[in-house]
Every structure is written in C-alpha cells, then in structure tokens.
Structure 1
Amino acid sequence: MADESCSTEIQQRRVELVGNYSKHLTHLLDLLFNVGAVTEEDLSLVRGSAVRGERECMRVLLDVLNGRGEEACRAFLYVLPSVQDKTAKLGQANRQEHLKKHKDILARQHGLVDYLSIRRHCLGHDETGCWTDITFSRQAGYASPSQCRHESAGVGDEICIFKDVYENLLCSPASGVNMLSGDAGSGKTTFVRRLVREWAAETNSSKTVLSLSFRELNLITQEQSLQDLLSDHYIHLKPFLPELLNSNPAQFLLILDGLDEFCYPLNFEHTPKCSDPERVQPIQSIVVNLIKGNLLPGVSIFLTSRPHAVTKVPPVLVSQFYSLLGFSVAQQKQYFEQNCSSPEAAEAVLASVSSHKPLLLMCHIPAFCWIVSTALHDGGSCLFPDTAGANSGEKGSLGAMAFKGLLERRFIFESSDLNSFNLDSANLSQVFLSEILKEDRASLTFEKGFHFIHTSMQEFLAALYYVLQSLSGSDPFSGLKPSTGCSIQNALKQMASAVNKFNTPQRLFRRRIKKALRCGERHQSGHMDLFARYLL
C-alpha cells in the first residue's frame, strides 16, 4: 500500500508539480540521474520536448517516472524537498523584488489625470492626497437596472466613501465579483487610477492588483489563453506568473474597467466551461469564465460599467454593487478650489455655475466639472490651446470625428480617420487625444491608434459640433466631411451670436435637437447619454 502511494501522490499533485517545478527541471533531472531514477535515454526524451515549453518537459518527466515504477516515483519525492527549499528561498526574494517592480509599473500606468486629480497644486506633496473625494452607494448585489442610477441612493443602500471601497477590495479576504456603476464622466476610471496608486504606495498589501481595460481587450482579435494574455500585458511578471496563478488566486484583485465599451457579446449560458488558464479560447470566453469563477477560482474581480451595461452580468454573480453618486455641491466647491489657479478664479467659476441651473445640474458629473473649470477659469486657453500650424477648422473637424465615432460606437480611431477630417495628431493637444499602439499579430507590426482622453470629452465635442452645425443651418448628420464646423476656441461666442442671428430657423434648430435625442434613444447602448445631456 505504501508503494502505491508514491505514484498516486505524484498523479494527485500533477498540476502543482508542473506549475511550481517546471522552472527547476534541470536541477531535478541532475538529482534524479545521480540517484539512478532516470537513464540517459529518459533525459533525452524529456529534453527533446523543450520545443513545446518547459511545462511540457515536466509533464513528460512525470510520465517517465510513472512508467519507471514506484522506485523511481519514490526517488522523485525524496529529492523534491531539496528543490522545494531552494524554490521557496529564491521565490520569496524574487517575488518581493518583482512585486515592487510591478507596483512601480502600475503606478506609472495609472498616473494622475486632469480631472478629479489636481496635478498642478500637488508638486512636492503626497499624490494620494490630491483627489477630490466622491460618494458611493453600496448594496449586496443588484436586482434591476433601475437601481443603477447614480443621481441618488436607493432605499436601504449604504453610503460609503473611497476608503470603504478600498478596504473591501484590497484588505478583505472575501472574493467574488464587485461591480461599480456610474454614468460617463462620473469617475469610474479615475477611481481605478486612485485605487491602483494607493495600493502601489502601500507597503504591506495582502493582495496583488492586475488591471485591464475592456478598451484594450477589444484589440485582441485572435484566440489566446488567460496566461498568455496576462503575460503579454505584464511582461515583467512572465517568469513567475504561472506559479503565482497556480499557487493562490485569492491573493489577486483583477480589475476590468469599462464593461460598457466591450465590443464582444458575453454569453453566460452557453460559453463552454474552462478552468485551465493555459487553454486557448476567444477573449469573451475568458471574461465569462473569469466572472463565473471557473478561471482562477477565489480571485477577486472588480468590474466598472455605465449603468446600461451592468445587466450583461447575471445578478447572481455579483456579490457587491457600488454606484457613483457624483459630486455634491460641497464637493463641487472643493474641486473648483483645488483645480483653479486662485481662490478668486474658483469663486468666479462657482458663481458662473451656480447662476446657470443646467450647468449646476451637470456639474454633479466630475468630468463636466473639469471641462467647465478648465474652460472658464482662464477663458478657455487651457482646454482649446492654439497650436502652431493648426488650420482654423481643425478642432471643429475633431468634433465631427467625435460625433461620427459616437454614431458608429467607436472609441478608438486610426490615422486614416484623422486624415479624412484633415486632422494632424501632432497639432492636437493631449487634452483631446491619447495615442496607443495597436498590434497586428498577423504581420507582427504595430499601428498607431488614438482615443479621446475620456469618453465624456468625445461626447462633449460631438455635442458642441452638433449644436454649431445646427445653428449655422447645416445638417450635422450629412456634414461629416473634412474641415466642417467652426473653431472650438471661439465656440461660446459663436453660439451666442448664432442664437441672435438665426432667430428665424429656431424651429429647425429645435427639430435638429429632437432628432439627436431620438438618435441616442434608438442606439439604446448608453454611449450617447452624456451627449444628449450636453445638448440639453
């Protein structure tokens, strides 16, 4: 019976042995050959599998030992502790070193942005203190889409702040799916940035953060495994990732930001079950199996989404549901005081906002506070800078491209898109566009891609373009051509003069606005909801 336990133990521990000891295969083979457990022919057979990877070599070794019988299996288990001790000592040191590197890299990738974070006033100060706080509501799971509204908390919802959410996600041993819902510009991605940066600054973290955006996942067109996906995204963790994933998935917090932007359908009923992180499958299948807990069971997952898309995930799978409630009036005041260049400028901006009810209502959306404060406190030079060589209609064309993108539900643009609207990326401020690289795996090349720094900016420019075109008597839907629209730098002046000049076509203008609102309703995807609010 004792003899049978050695081979049985190896078979039972096969996944662990392959995951934890493949990288020490050379040392293992030397020890086993020295004690006579394997022959030179066995060594050649195992090493000949190297073309399929070191993990495959380890699998072949385990098969060889099983074929050699109980004596060989007993010898393997005998030498294993010496490798295990070496693995533990090296692994602990390397793990700490690579975790620090991982934190530094994620902190840089999730750097401070211009809204919700106050960059210009934080020089020489702790960056974690540079955020205007925001209020959340929290409940166990969600019951219906009607509860996914950030304007007010529902009956029985618990009100909480950033610290509460942070502690629940990173300090609690509980696993499962947590979801954050909020309208465009309400602060979902900024919350993720703050979460990652404060985790990176923490010295004693009980969990390791992995962060992905659905916008990035949209770029994956070929099937691949979860392990390859994470290894490609976090190349610095590649040597240790298999061991980390196989050891204890509960030590990870996986952030998936922007579910509403995911272009692939999620089928939770008919997607094949997969628990192997090495199995190649479509990207949407990876997402489904992660959320259902088949892949990396025990991992904590944090999803963010606009309200219309939260129902893509079955309620039974969501353990904790948060809603962003936006800025209160006091938080708006705090934000303007921090973001404007002086107390006098902040007071002037707040007075302008308070005197205009639609502006005041919109300013509960943090991104809109950023647009308003940046545009008003210095006359718009921050938001719409003059750039050398920019043609007079360039920024208007940017609005046309933004509107066209909304109609087509596109958030990433190519160089050809910019060219078709006579736009030069070199002349566009980073306030508008961010540049990314898109990999073409078939040709092993990279192409430039562009996206607006935030979808709220895309919707704002699209709405501004739509209004200016309508006031000038043009049809925005048929005017999506190069060099359309007016210079955005003088947008407010032109809108005021247009209203006075075009008293006669006011009816036509109202019809155009209604047409835009109907268009947003027909899309029913929620990606034009802020566009509609800007119009109104």
Structure 2
Amino acid sequence: MQGNPTLLNEIYTELYITESESGEINNEHEVRQIETQSRRAATEDTAIKCNDIFRPLPGQHKPIRTVLTKGVAGIGKTVSVQKFILDWAEGKENQDIQLIFPLPFRELNLMKGKKLSLSSLLHIFFPETKKMKISCDKYKVLFIFDGLDECRLFLDFKSKVKLCKISESASVDVLLMNLIVRNLLPSALIWITSRPAAVDLIPSKCVHRVTEVRGFNEPQKVEYFRKRISDQSLANRIISHLKSSRSLYIMCHIPVFCWISATVLEKMLSQAESGKIPKTLTQMYTHFLIIQTNIKHEKDYEKKVKDEDMILRLGKLAFQQLVKGNLIFYDEDLRECGIDVTEASVYSGLCTQIFREEFGLYQGKVFCFVHLSLQEHLAALYVYLSFTINNINIFDQTKQGLLSKIFNQKKYNSLSDLHQRAVNEALQSKNGHLDLFLRFFLGLSVESNQTLLRKLLTQTGSCFYNKMETVQYIKQKIRKNHSSEESINLFHCLNELGDDLLMQEIQYYLKSGKIRETKLSSSHLEGPLYTITEYVGDHWTSTLEDAERLEDDLAFVNHDDHLGI
C-alpha cells in the first residue's frame, strides 16, 4: 500500500531498552524527556533485549506475565513488537509461546460499542481461530495490546463486572479489563505498549515488569544511518552534519526523526541538489514537507485538491487534535476539518509519509501522522498561514468550543503579538504539549523559512513583524522564569529565530544563579543544565563558578550556526 516496502530484518537496528522501576506517569512533554534521556548514563539502568522481556533477570524469581513497555512517540515501540513477532514466527526466539494475538488499540477502538465474547473478538481479528478452542491449559498464549495512549475505550478497573469464560459477552473495554486483571485466561502473557503519559491507565498491581524503549544510543544512531544510506561516503557526511547541530542530534534518539533527517539530508547533500543545509528543526521539517509534496507530483495523483487547501486542512486537523492530545484520527475527525473521507487517499497520497491511511486487521480506517513532531509542525504552519494569508487569528476564531477554553479573545494586530500569546500559552501548559509547536511557530517567521515555504505554496501572505519584539519578550520570560525545563525550550526558540545574541543570553542565565536557586534532581543535572552548556562548547557546568570559564568559548562562536560549535 505504501509503495516499495523494506523487509524489517534488512533495516532493523537494535533499540536501547531498559527495565524501569515502576510505571509512574511522566507529564513532561516528550521532547523534554528525549533530551533528558539522551544524557542519562547507561550504567544507571538495567538494559534488556526485546526478546527477553518475559524472562526474569538474574536474581528475579517470580514469573513475569504482564509487561508494560513505555516510550515516547516514534521511539520504536511498535517496531519492537513487530520484531518480537517476526523472530517468534521464524522460529528464532520464544518458542515456548504457541499463539500470539497482536491487538493494537487503534484497531480495538473501531469495536467500540460492540458487545462480544473474547472468542468472538478473536474470530473477527483472526478468522483462523474459529476452528480452535483457545485455552491456556492447551496453549501458551500472548496478547499484545499496542498503543495504550491511542485507546478511546473506557478502561474501568473499578468495574465489578467479572468474566471468567471466553464465551461470555460484554463490551470490548470490559473484555480487556478482565484479561488484564486475569479473570479471563489467567496464565496468558500480556504485553502493553504506551507513551509515558498514558501508563497510569493500567493499575501498577496488574503489571509485573515495566520496560522503557529509549530509542537509539550514540552507536545505534550511527549504525542506523549506515544501514539506511547505501552510499557510505554520503552517510558519513550526514552523520557529521547532524553531530554539528546538537539540537538535531539529540532528536536522533527517535528512530522516526533519523528517518526524516536521512530523507532530507540524502537529497540535500547529493550532488543534484543545492541549497542551505537545514540546521534547525523548522528548516528540517519544512524541507521534509516539500520533499513529500514533490513525491505526490511525481506520482501524478489526480489533482482534485490544491496543495494550499490540503496543507491548511491537514494543518487544521493537526492543530485541533494536538489541543485534544490525539495522535490517531477517525472519519468523524476528518469531516470536522473539511476533509472528504471518500477522497482521503488523495491526502495520504499527497503527503505519503506525513499523513497515512492505515488498514488494520479489522480493515477499518484509521489515520495518523507518522510522528507527533510532524503533527506539531503542520499545526504551527496552519496557525501561521491562517494569520498571514487570511488575517485569521486561530486562537480567537472559536468563541464557543474547543479553543475558547484555552485562548482568550484578545485581538492581535501583528505577528509579534501572536508570538507573545503563543509563548504564554506554551509556558502555561502543565505537560509542555505546545513546546515543540511553539518552536515551529516562531521558526516559520524567519525569512529563510519563508523562502522555503514559497517553494511549497503559491502564496504565504505577509504581515507586519518585528523580530526583536519577539526575541526581547522571550528573553524577559527566561529571566523571570524559575523552571529550567521551560527556559530550555525558550532557548531553543531563540535558536529557531536565529538570535545573534543567544550565547550572551545563555551566559547571563548561567551567571544569574537561577540554576543554583532551583532544587535540582539528577534528571535536571543530566538534562536542562547540560543542554544549556552544550550551546557554549559541550562543557559540563555544574556550578556558577564553572560558568565563568565559558566566557572564552564565546570568542569562536559562528553566529551562522549557533549549535555547531
């Protein structure tokens, strides 16, 4: 369905997976978690191979029946599931298991409202089971529930509805709950994957092991690009470029971001392509959008929808669902944004790798962006273009409805005013879900990115914009703000804006003593503080006195590449 598929075994790169202490909820935005995880010493955690997640480690004696695997969007949870199943099917691993039933939540959602028994549910997804009598006495069974964060079923673990026979009927959410609490098939193995913010949906008493997919460590990043790019000389150039930009290289812990970077840089660094090589997230994602749109034109899809209309509609969907916290969309979500469901293939064809239509085992339609960051980029582009082309302020557009609860009704006369409002909203978010959106939104106002957009759109609009107003406003927020995590994102925003005095602002922040005033946990020391000091030479700075030594580093800053020191 997607063109020329690549066999998993040809491209698969081992992921760094660790055993976690518990399934505690983490409300930080996922990009913050990635930046923190990229600093965490490998020796602090117990590494575990994907195929060993049901095997006790040395010194562990209790059998492991339910495993909860957490990890940020695009980090490799689903691919880990696929590799586990593939190795089992090929007879390489876990041969004591007779039956594996993968039941992704995005497909189970399509069964919402239906009353079924567990056996009839399995018959729908796996018709071959109609001739079998599923019993844990006869078979060792594994159920895999992938994507708990995408679940739109109501999992009520306080429910008193108890099912003990697989022939008893109930709603799908009740079936799942009884499986997880072990009323149904008590000896079956269960594997649940989830983004961190949703792990608390499963009571900790029901989970025997929590693992975390941490993505690629440093050697695995390099290995990925060497496998992905057949021309090893080009692969080396791509790796060198990414290493020169710390904010991009940090993101390479996410396999999906490695793929985006490889797609863009393979084209940009080839002899046939010229232009400024992307050094910021906004540049990278805008290039990616252009490349995917060009792929649509090369495939000569019937042009029923103009590129501008498509991008605005997808952007509207991206923004509305970002506010709601959704990564998976259904027919009704598309219709709300003016997307004709019957022509959805046009949209998925136009942005093949950005917005994909998936047909699951149940053959129902679900839609998603390949990664949360792509959704955030399109959402930012939608807000930006709505203001510059149509003079519509999306923040104020709906007086009754979703956005009115988040954004007030103030009118804005300039893009600078809109930037300030967006900064405030991002800072007020408890889990930072607008952080990356803010980076993209601010970055799109830079002239170089506007030039890029003109390759994609016939009109990008124009409006009054004073960059220094936005820069000074962000710096005021940094100086008033006591949260080191929030300050980090604001520094990233200054970098997206190309602030010439960024290094001086970082030095001021370090000398101000705010780091010292904040009670720092180990994750703070490994994450935000280290991120700041990387901007000024990859030095480890843990005290105010050490910050004095950073002054010399400023002498050789190349202002055209703030991160490539």
Report if the CA contact (8 A) 1:136-1:323 is conserved.
Answer: yes
- Whether 2:292 is the aligned partner of 1:383: answer yes
Cα distance change, pair 213–532 in 1 and its aligned pair in 2 (3 A): farther
Report if the CA contact (8 A) 1:225-1:281 is conserved.
Answer: yes
1:265 to 149, 154, 161: 154
- Whether 2:101 is the aligned partner of 1:210: answer yes
Cα distance change, pair 157–304 in 1 and its aligned pair in 2 (3 A): same
Amino acid at match of 1:133: E
Q: 2:208: which partner in 1?
A: 319
Distance 1:377 1:355 in 2: 16
2:46 to 143, 146, 158: 158
- The alpha carbon displacement at 1:235 in A equals 0.7
- The alpha carbon displacement at 1:429 in A equals 4.2
Report if the CA contact (8 A) 2:101-2:143 is conserved.
Answer: yes
Report if the CA contact (8 A) 1:375-1:383 is conserved.
Answer: no
- Whether 2:247 is the aligned partner of 1:358: answer yes
Report if the CA contact (8 A) 1:176-1:300 is conserved.
Answer: yes
Amino acid at match of 1:161: K
Q: 2:329: which partner in 1?
A: 412
Describe how 1:490-509 pairs up with structure 2 within 5 A. 505-506=415-416, 508-509=418-419
List gaps (5 residues or longer) in structure 2. Answer: 269-287, 399-413, 442-492, 494-565
Q: 1:79: which partner in 2?
A: none
Q: Which moves more between the two structures, 326-335 or 218-227?
A: 326-335
1:515 to 400, 425, 428: 425
Amino acid at match of 1:451: C
- Whether 2:218 is the aligned partner of 1:335: answer no
Deviations 1:176-198 (CA, angstroms, capped at 9, x unpaired) = 21010111111111111211122
Distance 2:160 2:42 in 1: 34
- The alpha carbon displacement at 1:336 in A equals 1.9
Q: 2:497: which partner in 1?
A: none
Q: 1:4: which partner in 2?
A: none
- The alpha carbon displacement at 1:154 in A equals 9.3
Number of residue pairs matched?
A: 381
Report if the CA contact (8 A) 2:17-2:214 is conserved.
Answer: yes
Report if the CA contact (8 A) 2:104-2:146 is conserved.
Answer: yes
- The alpha carbon displacement at 1:324 in A equals 1.5
Q: 1:239: which partner in 2?
A: 131
The secondary structure found in structure 2 opposite 1:247 is coil
1:223 to 104, 112, 115: 115
Deviations 1:485-506 (CA, angstroms, capped at 9, x unpaired) = xxxxxxxxxxxxxxxxxxx844
Deviations 1:258-278 (CA, angstroms, capped at 9, x unpaired) = 111112232222342211111
The secondary structure found in structure 2 opposite 1:263 is coil
Deviations 1:386-427 (CA, angstroms, capped at 9, x unpaired) = 433252312343222222222344422328628714775234
Report if the CA contact (8 A) 1:226-1:286 is conserved.
Answer: yes
Distance 1:292 1:333 in 2: 42
Distance 1:409 1:143 in 2: 19
The secondary structure found in structure 1 opposite 2:167 is coil
Q: 2:13: which partner in 1?
A: 132
Q: 2:379: which partner in 1?
A: 462
Distance 2:192 2:352 in 1: 27
- The alpha carbon displacement at 1:375 in A equals 2.4
Amino acid at match of 2:214: L
- Whether 2:291 is the aligned partner of 1:401: answer no
- Normalised to the residue count of structure 2, the TM-score between the two structures is 0.58
Distance 1:476 1:167 in 2: 51
Amino acid at match of 2:52: D
Deviations 1:344-398 (CA, angstroms, capped at 9, x unpaired) = 3323332332233322222222222222221232144653324332523123432
Distance 1:347 1:174 in 2: 45
Report if the CA contact (8 A) 1:256-1:302 is conserved.
Answer: yes
Deviations 1:148-175 (CA, angstroms, capped at 9, x unpaired) = 9661479963122334337669xx9944
Cα distance change, pair 280–392 in 1 and its aligned pair in 2 (3 A): same
Report if the CA contact (8 A) 2:20-2:210 is conserved.
Answer: yes
Distance 1:231 1:277 in 2: 12
Cα distance change, pair 228–341 in 1 and its aligned pair in 2 (3 A): same
Distance 2:361 2:144 in 1: 22
Cα distance change, pair 328–414 in 1 and its aligned pair in 2 (3 A): same
- The alpha carbon displacement at 1:200 in A equals 1.4
Report if the CA contact (8 A) 1:418-1:424 is conserved.
Answer: no
- The alpha carbon displacement at 1:311 in A equals 1.1
Deviations 1:48-67 (CA, angstroms, capped at 9, x unpaired) = xxxxxxxxxxxxxxxxxxxx
- Normalised to the residue count of structure 1, the TM-score between the two structures is 0.61
Cα distance change, pair 396–349 in 1 and its aligned pair in 2 (3 A): farther
- The alpha carbon displacement at 1:231 in A equals 0.9
Cα distance change, pair 474–515 in 1 and its aligned pair in 2 (3 A): farther
The secondary structure found in structure 2 opposite 1:183 is coil
Distance 1:347 1:470 in 2: 41
- Whether 2:345 is the aligned partner of 1:425: answer yes
Distance 1:431 1:219 in 2: 23
CA RMSD of aligned residues (A): 3.9
- The alpha carbon displacement at 1:218 in A equals 1.2
- Whether 2:168 is the aligned partner of 1:279: answer yes
Describe how 1:301-312 pairs up with structure 2 within 5 A. 301-312=190-201
The secondary structure found in structure 2 opposite 1:255 is strand
1:291 to 169, 172, 180: 180
Q: Which moves more between the two structures, 457-466 or 470-479?
A: 470-479
- The alpha carbon displacement at 1:332 in A equals 1.7
2:393 to 475, 495, 509: 475
Cα distance change, pair 365–236 in 1 and its aligned pair in 2 (3 A): same
Distance 2:254 2:171 in 1: 35
Report if the CA contact (8 A) 1:136-1:324 is conserved.
Answer: yes
Report if the CA contact (8 A) 1:418-1:425 is conserved.
Answer: no
The secondary structure found in structure 2 opposite 1:372 is helix
- The alpha carbon displacement at 1:297 in A equals 0.7
- The alpha carbon displacement at 1:439 in A equals 12
Q: 1:201: which partner in 2?
A: 90
- The alpha carbon displacement at 1:291 in A equals 1.0
Report if the CA contact (8 A) 2:22-2:210 is conserved.
Answer: yes
Distance 2:42 2:207 in 1: 18
Cα distance change, pair 507–477 in 1 and its aligned pair in 2 (3 A): closer
Distance 2:425 2:217 in 1: 32
Distance 1:365 1:141 in 2: 22
Distance 1:437 1:238 in 2: 22
**Structure showing greater Rg:** 1
